[in-house]
Amino acid sequence: MQRFKGKLPIIWISIFTLWAKTTFAVFYIFHIHTEDSLQVATILINPLAPLLLLMSLALLFVGKKNAAFIAIAINLAVTLLLYFNIVYYRFFNDFLTIPILLQSNNARDLGISLWKLLEPVDILFFIDIIIAFWLKGRMRAVLLFRPKVGLSLACILFFINLTTAHIDRPELLTRSFDRQMLVRNLGIYNYVVYDVLLHGQTKIRRAAASERDYDELNKHVLSDTPANPAYSSIAKGRNVFVISLESTQSFVVNEYVDEQELTPFLNDLITEKGSYYFDQFYHQTSQGKTSDSEFIIDNSLYGLPRGAVFFTNPQNKYNALPKRVKEAGYTTAVFHANNKSFWNRDVMYPALGYDHFFSEMYYTITKENSVGWGLKDADFFMQSLEYVKKLQQPFYAKFITLTNHFPFALAAKDEIIPEWNSPDGTVNRYFTTVRYQDEALKQFFDAIKASGLYDNSIFIIYGDHYGISKNHNKAMSTFLQKDITAYEYIQLQKVPMLIHVPGLEETKTVSTISGQIDVKPTILNLLGLEQGHIQFGTDLFASNREELIILRDGSFISDTYVYTNNRCYSHRTSMETNMHYCEPFFEHVKEELELSDKIIYGDLLRFAN
């Protein structure tokens, strides 16, 4: 024992602390669901192979004399990788991908939100590194670690990891859209390597695509569900207002907080003549969030399993909704008081067929009229309307709001209702900004009526994605007075979808299962334009539409069953049921997502003519 006095087996200590931090994060921050001891064992094993591999290769190339430096450097680098995923996961409930990391232009705009995601407990992920730096000059490192043995052990553990993962999920590597499953079975570090390989593969797919791929695709994507002729052309020649409500979920509609109505204007509009409300409408976004919702609605294609199409494929040819209406004589415009490069919009919008993009440079933004992510919704709508009045009619105009965005900040003078009283500040503030957004929407409608544009227009109002992530399930459970199971969390992915056509006598709430993928064919039918061949959605008014909505992670909602988090639920009872009821949907869900990916990755619409 005297021989090792004053020395530390620093390589093994670093491997152990990294393993401990990783498994803690997987179980208690990422909340990876496990069903049996095999899945638990897989999670415990999977960090070890990449950690052993990293340490062994570094020692072989850098040298054993630098063992202490190597251990500390690798510990810091791997901890940062883990921590960035932790911060990202706290809001997005997802893991970082290479396309997301390459979207560095978004980092400046995300600054306010990121600070809200940091927690005091985070220092625990770095405490071992701080101690190691402190001890580095006082105690020498003893190796007790043979790099070649480490490499052999890493290979053995990696083989064991792949074997257990294959037993649990045989088709694992073909389900790249399900990152929860990938991280559970491969581990966070092996997942990063897999993601790098996928990123490289996607660059090759466009070059390898051919006209034959498009011809084959055409056989599968042609919709056999016709649009409803009763609603065809009811808005022909009208101006189109498409309004994206930031982070707005359907549970706030017709809801009260402390006897205060959250969305009084939206509630009234739903009951007005000429209004059609879809109360079983789901967002289908993934890592692209608002940009995903824009892409899905404009194209009736799914977003990508990794990153955002706005960044990864802006050079593609699209047969998007703005392009279609533009060909029919419409002026097309987008209004969004944010940096024009955020989500690469200034590059993507021309590819989708937009004539004009009114970004933040077109608005007067001051300290008084901005909060959180930028210009307040009320000022945004009023300033936007001045540009709308100058557009040549008919026009197709999309408006993207900002105020109801995490962290849901609002000045006290703008609070119409006080914050809810719970231990969760995010949920408390959410209700306040939702109420503000609803009031801003009311003022916008009043101004449109005063401008003379109202009667000859049609309004499409929808929520872009969730606002309250599963990290706030405890507060949501208190508010909704029920447990937030995986089934209930899927129900919280419903967002408002309202079509308002002034002058019509009919008022209707439509309760068929639907989603953002269905908006493009619906608008085309309402305007009396031909449906596109390559689209995955169906007219929301179609009488015999299939009631099945697919989410980007492979979850789905039908009128009978819900599949999510590797569990099957009865839609009638909301209770978990036997998996064999959901299995008949699996192949269709997988095929549809893969076909959409093939269109985007291969840029197949360039072969349309």
User: In this predicted model, what pLDDT tens digit does every residue of 216-267 receive, in sequence order?
Assistant: 887 666 566 889 999 999 999 999 999 999 999 999 999 999 999 999 999 9
- For residue 500, the model assigns a pLDDT of 98
Model confidence, pTM: 0.81
Beta bridge partners of 332: 396
Q: Phi-psi category of 34—alpha, beta or left, where left has phi over 0 and alpha has psi -120 to 50?
A: beta
Amino acid identity of residue 451, one-letter, is: S
> How would residue 601 be classed by pLDDT, with cut points 50, 70 and 90?
very high
User: What is the residue-wise DSSP string for 541-569?
Assistant: T-TT---EEE-TTS-EEESSEEEETTEEE
Pick the more confident residue, 100 or 24: 24
- For residue 105, the model assigns a pLDDT of 57
Selection from 90-99, 247-256, 304-313, 404-413 with the highest mean pLDDT = 247-256
Q: Is 290 a catalytic residue?
A: yes
- For residue 2, the model assigns a pLDDT of 46
Neighbouring residues of 109: CB distance < 8 A, sequence distance ≥ 6: 338, 339, 342, 373
> How would residue 206 be classed by pLDDT, with cut points 50, 70 and 90?
confident
Q: 3-state SS of 371-390?
A: ECCEECHHHHHHHHHHHHCC
Cα separation, 263 vs 441, in Å, equals 10
- For residue 116, the model assigns a pLDDT of 73
Contact in structure between 525 and 446 (CB atoms under 8 Å): no
- For residue 174, the model assigns a pLDDT of 60
Least confident of 61-65, 271-275, 529-533, 583-587: 61-65
Across the range 459-484, mean pLDDT stands at 95
What is the length of the chain?
609
Q: Each residue of 415-426: pLDDT tens digit?
A: 999 999 999 999
For residue 392, give the DSSP letter.
P
> How would residue 68 be classed by pLDDT, with cut points 50, 70 and 90?
confident
Q: Print burial letters for 456-481: b (CB count within 10 Å at least 16), e (below 16).
A: ebbbbbbbbbbbbbebbbebbeebee
Beta strands (DSSP E) in 319-426 are: 331-335, 356-358, 370-371, 374-375, 395-400
Q: Each residue of 548-585: pLDDT tens digit?
A: 999 999 999 999 999 998 899 999 999 999 999 999 99
Catalytic residue among 79, 202, 285, 290: 290
Cα separation, 362 vs 335, in Å, equals 9
CA atoms within 13 A on the CB side of 471: 18
Percent of the chain with pLDDT over 90: 63
For residue 416, the tally of other CB atoms under 10 A from its CB is 14
Selection from 22-31, 186-195, 438-447, 530-539 with the highest mean pLDDT = 438-447
Given a cut of 80, is residue 201 above it in pLDDT?
Answer: no
CA atoms within 13 A on the CB side of 473: 17
- For residue 89, the model assigns a pLDDT of 86
> How would residue 4 be classed by pLDDT, with cut points 50, 70 and 90?
very low
Which among 103, 150, 124 has a CA at the least distance from the CA of 310?
A: 103
Q: Each residue of 318-362: pLDDT tens digit?
A: 999 999 999 999 999 999 999 888 888 998 999 999 999 999 999
Domains and CATH numbers, the chain: 2-205 (no CATH), 229-543 (3.40.720.10)
Q: How far is CA 154 from the centre of its chain?
A: 34
Q: Which residue has the tokens 């990152």?
A: 179
Q: Each residue of 142-158: pLDDT tens digit?
A: 667 788 888 899 899 98
CA atoms within 13 A on the CB side of 596: 23
For residue 592, the tally of other CB atoms under 10 A from its CB is 18
Pick the more confident residue, 520 or 178: 520
For the CA atoms of the chain, what is the radius of gyration? 26
Tokens linked to 217: 């695709």
Cα separation, 357 vs 370, in Å, equals 20
Which among 460, 433, 463 has a CA at the least distance from the CA of 285?
A: 463
Given a cut of 70, is residue 108 above it in pLDDT?
Answer: no
- For residue 341, the model assigns a pLDDT of 81
Cα separation, 578 vs 567, in Å, equals 8
- For residue 139, the model assigns a pLDDT of 55
Given a cut of 90, is residue 13 above it in pLDDT?
Answer: no
For residue 163, the tally of other CB atoms under 10 A from its CB is 11
- For residue 107, the model assigns a pLDDT of 53
> How would residue 44 be classed by pLDDT, with cut points 50, 70 and 90?
very high
Give the end-to-end CA distance of the chain in Å, rounded to a whole number. Answer: 79
How many separate helices (H) and strands (E) can be counted in the chain?
22, 21
> How would residue 1 be classed by pLDDT, with cut points 50, 70 and 90?
very low
Mean pLDDT of the chain: 89
Percent of the chain with pLDDT over 70: 92
